[in-house]
Amino acid sequence: MNQGRSWTAHPGDNLEQRSVRGAAATLSSQGVVFATRLAATSVLAHVLSPADFGLVAMAAPLVTFAMLFQDLGLSMATVQRKELSEAVVVGLFWVNVLAGFGLSAVTVLCAPLVSLFFHDGRLTAITMALGSAFVIGGFGAQQRALLAREMRFGFLSALQIAAVALSALCAIAAVLLDLGYWSLVVLTLVNTFVVCIGAWFVPQFTPRLTRSLKGAGDSLRFGLNYTGVGVLDFFARNVDNVLVGRYWGSAELGYYSRAYSLLLQPLYRVHSPFETVAIPGLSKLQDDEARYAKYYLKALSTICTMALPAIVALMIVSKDVVAVFLGPQWAPAVPMFAVLGVTALLHTTYLTTAWLFVSLGRTGRQLRWSLIAVPVTIAGIVAGLPLGGLGVSIGYTAANVLLFLPGIWYATRNTPLRVMAVLGANRQGVIMAGGVGVVVYLVSLVPLSNVYVRFAVEATAGLVAWSVLSLVVGRKDSPLHHLAGLVAAALPRSWRKNGDRP
């Protein structure tokens, strides 16, 4: 068989600049995507009933779980490999396609069970329709992976924005055509279709029929281990909600889940674009130990200087945060929010250990660590369960404290990095977090009766303190300088070149 095109992980001299542009494009697109989805949801919510949203949400658990197996980790394997031939990519392409058809078939077979469980016959058709997205996604998985490997994040970001915008328009059109809850299904399917089709506008390989998976063994093993990690992580992140809801009821679960989402979900959203860029970048540097270590530590330091001060400030004014974003009736969530803040501080660094496992092709080690970390996490949750949502928050946080240093040690073992170097990358962020925390705490003592005004003053003071400390602590290497670089990188090239302002 003709091997066709091949890809080699040459980092080049401008890898750092490409990474900055990639991070800027990804961060910018996330903001646009979030705003577009929020607007679309608002429009749909004004037309559809809560029951319509709830009906589609009933099908979500099965579909969400099936998504863990959507590409069997093969997209990340394609991003990570040092050497890659077109023959291997074609083989993986057909594995992804077959996996998509297989998952769709499983979803179709399980659809009647979903209807039976929820006692609503409409769920059979809804679940079957949502399952068809797996077939569509299978055809685009390797194409998107190659674009990420080539660090074409500008194109991928634009594609995601286009997909969200078009899916929102189609969903709104479906509502106007009086399709009811089916408009929410349209929202999902159109988004998947546009992402898949759009990826082929920059073709990276030619799909052709083949029975050979020669040379794909490493990618398959990598992908299966990566998928195993995802499955374990899925259970670790959902068992708390299941247990709190089962033993303490919907009200206690509401307090706990909102506290968790209000603090940890934004952190995960900040990490996501950095991970999207960092893994391809680190994969290209896996044979250059000095640049690999420098690249990782720089990325980690940037995240810490942005995230740690914000988390500390939110913990200090947790009462005001909950009152402003959730309302005064959510007061029981305040101590849960504050306790989970410790987990957020640890996760700022801990989550980046996945970059090391994946970029060095060590998903087998990552899976073995997950087999230790997930039971410890679940044990912490179970131990805190008798005290309700607050107890679960404490148990979950205690488990993360216990896993933090061993997890970093295990991830950095036999790599160019050491535990002390990773912890050292937190130094600037920790100093700034302390300064911002003191300022926000002092401002919070000012007697302002209106909680919205008080929170606005606290947030403004924290932002000003962060900006000043950024310049003082970092000097030329300040977080503000990095942030300005991200903003500049997000601008069109003609503006950057000519120095014009938009």
Sequence spans of domains, the chain: 6-205+214-220, 234-494
What pLDDT, on a 0 to 100 scale, did the predictor assign at position 85? Answer: 73
Q: pLDDT value at position 15?
A: 61
* The pLDDT of residue 456: 93
- Token pair 């995507």 is found at 33
- Tell me if 29 sits within 8 A of 161, measured CB to CB: yes
User: Taking the CB of residue 230, how many other CB atoms lie within 10 A of it?
Assistant: 17
**CA–CA separation, 206 vs 282, rounded Å?**
27
Q: What is the mean pLDDT of each run of 10 residues along the chain (502 residues)?
A: 55 60 68 78 77 77 82 78 74 83 91 85 89 85 78 80 90 89 89 86 69 67 87 86 82 83 78 80 83 88 90 92 85 91 94 91 91 95 93 95 96 92 92 93 90 92 90 62 47 44 36
Which pair of structure tokens corresponds to residue 365? Answer: 């080690």
The SS3 assignment for 85 reads: strand
pLDDT of residue 477: 59
| End-to-end C-alpha distance for the chain, whole angstroms | 51
* pLDDT of the residue at 3: 52
Instruction: Judge if pTM exceeds 0.85.
Output: no
**Distance from C-alpha of 294 to C-alpha of 402, rounded to nearest angstrom:** 27
Q: How far is CA 23 from CA 122, 205, 314, 485, in A?
A: 42, 26, 25, 10
Cα–Cα distance measured from residue 194 to residue 421, given in angstroms and rounded to the nearest whole number: 43
Can you tell me the distance from the alpha carbon of 322 to that of 244, in angstroms, rounded to the nearest whole number? 20
Long-range residue pairs from 123-126, CB within 8 A, at least 24 positions apart, any chain: 123/55, 123/58, 123/59, 126/55, 126/56, 126/59, 126/181, 126/182, 126/185
Q: How many residues does the chain have?
A: 502
